[in-house]
Chains A and B, each alone.
Chain A
Amino acid sequence: MRAARLRAGLKRRYAREGRFRLYGLLAIGVAVGFLLLLLGRIIEQGHTAFYTHTVTVPVYMDPARVDRAYPQGTNFELLVAEQQLARMGVADDAQGTKAAAMRSLFSSELKFAAAARIQGNPNLVGQTVPIAAPVSDDADLYFKHEISRATPADQRRLSDEQISWLDRMKASGLVATHFNSGLFTKGDSTEPELAGVLGAVVGSALMLVVTALIAIPLGVGAALYLEEFAPRGRITDLIEVNINNLAAVPSIIYGLLGLALFINWMHLPRASPLVGGLVLALMALPTIIIATRSSLKAVPPSIREAALAMGASKTQTVFQHTLPLAMPGVMTGAIISMAHALGETAPLLLIGMVSFIPGIPHSLGEPTGALPSLVYIWENASERAFHERTAAAILVLLAFMIVMNAAAIFLRRRFERRW
């Protein structure tokens, strides 16, 4: 009787355990599924941004149109387009419609490349020089099969004629496919084929340096004081509650605060890494304080007692024993909050990073973009070629975060080994 009951109960208990394991597996499966879906979608959209097409055209530097002393004044794009049309045996009309159509297949880089060649060597005027430049964004999309002839002509940005020109240029070996190094070496541009993420990467990195330099020492210091030195009481409790609340304040509020405090009141330069870093530091502070406090709390009290009983002062106990033991947790908290700061968008938009900033910053005071705000700007751009670049920028941002998290794990291991 008793044995039967026990057995029946046992069966139920095992069944419950089995169900619970199943739920766990399901939850993990769903989470991993969504993650893969997200990543897969981004990679699918973004991978095409990592290669691009350039066209190399022979340019006859017509002395009648190219000024040796001032090559920048020449309309090279039109020159090249007309010469290309002539080579292909296409007659233009009086309005130059065909030249304009041909011209729109090259990026404006062509003009700068040609002018630079003449500036470098004015004797090239009168000769035929091969000039390489990216194709325009629409041409690039056609070569990537994102614009196809199958679409009705009035719904695509390239006419049948332009497509046939592109096909002919490709067939004659003028068009080359290669890695899109410009994506990593250039700043933002209004033309997708010339736009790169370098300005945003440098901007984000500079901001993170500012954030880390301000938020980590301040946050760890505040946590040390609150946890180890501050007298327990109403004021400490109040501060603790407020810090916990601050960690939950929406980031856009920090952006408004930064705008009012750093830009309008302190007159720091708008959209600069300095202001961005300061705002992100404000945001990261509560997280760092909370993480540091909890890892300080986790240090066994026996170690504190041992140090105090040896005659170590409070400060010696904290800095020689408690903090080193809490260090892995502190580092993890700090780096997680940095990674958070890296991906934060709303406050950056409010302090001016929503505007188009083509340059690559060299100091903390210059206007700069940041990776998340670049993603936002590109996503909102009307050119279709920006879509793949948005996904590529997201991938760069994710890679940045993976590098940071790897650094966090590395640092933690290192500090753990140094008990």
Chain B
Amino acid sequence: MKFNLFRAADGTEGGGSPAGPPVIAAPPVVHSSAPMGPTKIAARDVSVFYSGKQALYDVTLDIPDKTVTALIGPSGCGKSTFLRTMNRMNDTIPGAKVTGRIEMDGEDINAKSVDPVLLRARVGMVFQKPNPFPKTIYENVAYGPRIHGLAASKSELDSVVEASLKRAGLWEEVADRLHSPGTGLSGGQQQRLVIARAIAVEPEVILMDEPCSALDPIATAKIEELIDELRERYCIVIVTHSMAQAARVSQRTAFFHMGRLVETGDTEDIFTNPRERRTLDYITGRFG
């Protein structure tokens, strides 16, 4: 069972006082093994080079469906780089080169026949800094369905927007101001807006690159709760600097160090019984 410690009593963000102990002090909670889906993404010997400089070395990792997989490790360890290979965002960086094989549902996503535009409709992404478009809340969420031609009519689009905002837990806060700018929301609300924008196109995978690092503890708790709810429908991969967060939200954890995947396994095992010395040192705060 997931805990729900930090939700404000009235269910709003920042308004009431947290009903539990502060997030920072929370001990790493170990999940009982949640039901995991079959392998959604399979990475085999994935290496990434930026202008000839290698940033990632031969990563082989299976990412199960309907599961939250946390990528942890110190800064510059390659976890974000690996995350960005899964929706081919590295394609947009001049001089970036990806080798190895990444399969999604058995299909090579780097194949010539795969259009990165279509891939990104299947693999959504949430960034470290909330980056809503400088448009209205409605336009932000409607953007994906619009460019991919997913909504046939205005009313269909309206219902997609509403459903996405509801699923992202933002509907009640913004229902009366859908046509005000998305950039006017608080940081935590913006991040949930961005998540709503990502799920509006019904992706299969959601990649999150340190989604809470710019947020306060209460907003963080809300996002974590949301991630746990989204797990039922999506394959989620989250990069995080916070060990406590990895422990709270993920079922699988992969520890990266110096561009290599050091260890991967059930979150519970990684945090209680790491096999590698480096993992132990990192999770106990001896470096990182």
Contacts and interface: CB of A to CB of B under 8 A. Distances in A.
A309 B127 contact: yes
B197 interface: yes
B269 to A, nearest CB: 32
B125 A309 contact: yes
Query: Max chain A CB contacts within 10 Å: which of B92, B127, B148, B198?
Result: B92
Interface string A292-306: 000000001011111
A173 interface: no
A302 B131 contact: yes
A310 B120 contact: yes
Interface stretch (A71-79, A240-248, A311-319, A399-407): A311-319
A331 interface: no
Interface in B118-176: 118-121, 124-125, 127, 129, 131-135, 143-144, 147-148
A260 interface: no
B148 A311 contact: yes
Given A321-B133, A419-B183, A313 B89 contact: no
Contact of B201 (A231, A303, A311, A419): A311
A303 B131 contact: yes
B274 interface: no
Query: Max chain B CB contacts within 10 Å: which of A304, A311, A316?
Result: A311
A312 B148 CA distance: 8
| Main secondary structure on A side of the interface with B | helix
A85 interface: no
Query: Max chain B CB contacts within 10 Å: which of A304, A305, A310?
Result: A310
B117 interface: yes
A232 interface: yes
Interface string A265-303: 000000000000000000000000000000000001011
Contacts of A321: 133
How many residues of B sit at the interface, in one of the four size bands? 20 to 34
Contacts of A320: 147
Contacts of B135: 419
B187 interface: no
A302 B129 contact: yes
A263 interface: no
B194 A311 contact: no
B144 A325 contact: no
Given A308-B92, A419-B181, A313 B131 contact: no
B281 to A, nearest CB: 33
B94 interface: yes
A307 B133 contact: yes
B202 to A, nearest CB: 12
A197 to B, nearest CB: 44
B89 A311 contact: no
B87 interface: yes
B117 A306 contact: no
B121 A311 contact: yes
A419 B92 CA distance: 24
Contact of A311 (B117, B129, B132): B117
Nearest to A300: B131
Interface residues of A, number: 20
Contacts of B120: 308-311
Contacts of A308: 89, 92, 120
A312 B133 contact: no
Contact of B117 (A231, A302, A312, A325): A312
A305 B83 CA distance: 14
B151 to A, nearest CB: 14
B118 A309 contact: no
Nearest to A232: B94
B236 to A, nearest CB: 15
Contact of B124 (A232, A304, A309, A313): A309
A311 B118 contact: yes
Interface string A308-340: 111111001000110001000000000000000
Contacts of B181: 419
B134 A303 contact: yes
Query: Max chain A CB contacts within 10 Å: which of B117, B124, B129?
Result: B117
B280 to A, nearest CB: 34
B45 to A, nearest CB: 25
A415 to B, nearest CB: 12
Contact of B147 (A231, A306, A311): A311
Given A302-B127, A303-B134, A325-B134, A309 B87 contact: yes
A231 B92 CA distance: 11
Contacts of A304: 92
A302 B132 CA distance: 9
Contacts of B87: 309
Nearest to B121: A311
B89 A309 contact: yes
A419 B144 contact: no
Contacts of B117: 311-313
Contacts of A316: 147
A310 B198 contact: yes
Contacts of B132: 306
A302 to B, nearest CB: 4
A311 B133 contact: no
A311 B129 CA distance: 19
Contacts of A325: 134
Given A302-B131, A305-B131, A311 B94 contact: no
A419 B134 contact: yes
B94 A310 contact: no
B127 A305 contact: yes
Given A308-B89, A309-B87, A303 B147 contact: no
A264 to B, nearest CB: 43
Nearest to A309: B125
A211 to B, nearest CB: 31
Given A306-B194, A320-B147, 15 more contacts: A231-B94, A302-B127, A305-B92, A305-B127, A308-B92, A309-B89, A309-B120, A309-B125, A310-B144, A311-B118, A311-B147, A312-B143, A316-B147, A325-B134, A419-B181
25 contacts: A231-B94, A302-B131, A303-B131, A305-B89, A306-B127, A306-B132, A306-B194, A307-B133, A308-B92, A308-B120, A309-B89, A309-B124, A309-B125, A309-B127, A310-B124, A310-B144, A310-B147, A310-B197, A310-B198, A310-B201, A311-B117, A311-B144, A311-B148, A312-B117, A316-B147
The 3 closest A-B pairs by CB, nearest first: A419-B134, A311-B120, A309-B125
